[in-house]
Amino acid sequence: MTLQGIKQRFGIVGRSETLDRALSTAIRVSNTDLTVLIRGESGVGKEVFSKIIHELSKRKHNKFIALNCGALPEGTINSELFGHEKGSFTGASADRSGYFETLDGGTIFLDEIGEMPLDTQSYLLRVLESGEFIKVGASKTLKTDVRIVAATNVDLEELIKSGKFREDLYYRLNTVPINVPALHERREDIYMLFRRFAIDFSEKYRSESVVLDERAQMIIENYRWPGNIRELKNLVEQLSVMSDKPLIDAEALLDIAPRLIKRNLPALADQPDKNSTSGFQERELLFKFLLEMKTDLNDLKSLVYELINNNDLSVPDMQRLSKSTDSLDRYMRSGKQNTAPQRQDENQYYNDEDSDDIMTRPIILDHERRSEYDNTEIVEENLSLESMEKDMIGKALKKHRGRRKDAAEELGISERTLYRKIKQYEIDE
């Protein structure tokens, strides 16, 4: 069966390369007994992939069941999976067969495998390695021929590091990994899915199918969709019921679902108090410092212009620089790279008429004072925010002679925040 035929049979909508790659892997591995681990965010349709693997396998005429490991109570999950003997625990009034016994020859889909308790993981590992299991409270070993397809929406490697998942079980499950793309990774499929759901809900509610204008399409295609296909489907159903007209523009879309224009940008994780104003005050402090730095730069510009005017300094303008660049190009093309321009005297500068290379002329005309700058040392300025903040607090304290209240008012922060900063930066008052 072709890839397009598989999509039509199982109701899969989309043309993205990542989706096609995941489907191709599922199709190729379906006719084997290899264990498959399906990875993907919540709501991307991992269970659909497990059904594809079962329906295209030689086990398709046998039973299939999907179990959510996170939904099975920890105290009864072993009994659910492997069965139990009468009297093995309180409430076990009769023998019970588990899924691994009743689904012999079929397929079990274990969703959210990362939520499985550690003791159950040990039992599952034995089933994967030898096909053997023991009922709860029994001593007899039973055999089963069940194919395991597992799925997870969390990073199992991180669970292994924290001791919540067995490493040996992970490698047994991860024989063939399938990565199902999130909806924001296949944006070209978003409106196709929207139209498919819209048609389905129009038939369900016997109404006209809703469509989006160009701006509304752009909004849904640029939304993050943390709930993936499940969230999109819920939105389409909401629009099908709430919208007064079939054509939905951007304003009507945002009126029903304003979250679509929100952005989940990174934020500081360790905020001790969300209602605290210290973060705002620190930003105000930084803004004040930047404004002060801008003022200093403007003063520096004025000083440079004054030096140029009072000391007969020469600064070439852009037109002359452009002409000099053209002249230099002609000079290099003429093959005179080794010919040095002539000087009239060592203490005099090039004459514009004698040389086109205006850019090489010194700016300061007084050579006798050059020696004053020969021994200067260029110190690189520390541009870290902490250094800037520390410097500004020091200036404010010095200005107000150590009076913290006045310094805090000058900086636009609370006296408590100022005290904390003084202690943090070890500022001498």
Can you give the CATH number for the domain in which 402 is found?
Answer: 1.10.10
Region 146-167: what's the mean pLDDT? 96
138 or 268, greater pLDDT: 138
Is the confidence at residue 347, as pLDDT, over 50? no
Region 288-299: what's the mean pLDDT? 77
Three-state SS for 120? helix
Cα distance between residue 149 and residue 175, in whole Å: 10
Q: Is residue 233 part of a domain?
A: yes
pLDDT in tens, 185-239: 999 999 999 999 999 999 999 999 999 999 999 999 999 999 999 999 999 999 9
The answer to whether residues 101 and 83 touch, using CB atoms and an 8 Å cutoff, is yes
Is the confidence at residue 303, as pLDDT, over 90? no
118 and 255 within one domain: no
Please, what is the average pLDDT of the chain? 82
pLDDT band at 327; cut points 50, 70, 90:
low
pLDDT band at 355; cut points 50, 70, 90:
very low
Region 304-328: what's the mean pLDDT? 61
Is the confidence at residue 162, as pLDDT, over 70? yes
179 or 338, greater pLDDT: 179
Q: Is residue 303 part of a domain?
A: no
Q: Is residue 34 part of a domain?
A: yes
DSSP state of 112: S
Tell me which of 154, 181, 208 is where a domain ends: 181
247 and 236 within one domain: yes
Q: What are phi and psi of 177, to 5 degrees?
A: -85, 140
- H or E stretch at 133: strand 132-134
Lowest mean pLDDT among 16-30, 106-120, 126-140, 407-421: 407-421
Q: Is residue 275 part of a domain?
A: no
139 and 27 within one domain: yes
Most confident of 98-112, 272-286, 351-365: 98-112
- In the chain, the number of structural domains is 3
Q: Is residue 332 part of a domain?
A: no
Which residues, 6+ apart, have CB-to-CB distance to 54 below 8 Å?
Answer: 30, 60, 64, 106, 107, 109, 147, 149
pLDDT in tens, 79-123: 999 999 988 888 888 999 999 999 999 999 999 999 999 999 999
pLDDT band at 338; cut points 50, 70, 90:
very low
216 and 235 within one domain: yes
The per-residue pLDDT for 382 is: 63
423 or 120, greater pLDDT: 120
Cα distance between residue 371 and residue 14, in whole Å: 74
Q: How far is CA 390 from the centre of its chain?
A: 33
215 and 88 within one domain: no
The per-residue pLDDT for 427 is: 81
Domain enclosing residue 239, as ranges? 184-261
Lowest mean pLDDT among 73-82, 227-236, 368-377: 368-377
Tell me which of 181, 214, 237 is where a domain ends: 181
391 or 334, greater pLDDT: 391
Q: Is residue 346 part of a domain?
A: no
Three-state SS for 141? strand
Closest to 363 (Cα-Cα) out of 325, 307, 296, 324: 307
Q: Give, in order, the Cα–Cα distances in Å from 124 to each of 121, 128, 154, 199, 310.
A: 5, 6, 19, 43, 88
Region 303-327: what's the mean pLDDT? 62
Tell me which of 166, 181, 196 is where a domain ends: 181
Cα distance between residue 131 and residue 117, in whole Å: 20
188 and 177 within one domain: no
Q: Is residue 268 part of a domain?
A: no
The per-residue pLDDT for 176 is: 95
169 and 110 within one domain: yes
The per-residue pLDDT for 375 is: 57
Percent of the chain with pLDDT over 90: 56
DSSP state of 383: -
Is the confidence at residue 361, as pLDDT, over 90? no
223 and 139 within one domain: no
Three-state SS for 66? strand
Integer-rounded Cα radius of gyration of the chain: 37
Q: Is residue 351 part of a domain?
A: no
Cα distance between residue 215 and residue 221, in whole Å: 10
Rounded to 10°, the helix 385-399/415-425 angle is 120
Cα distance between residue 396 and residue 411, in whole Å: 7
Residue with tokens 């089963």: 144
pLDDT band at 278; cut points 50, 70, 90:
low
Cα distance between residue 149 and residue 47, in whole Å: 10
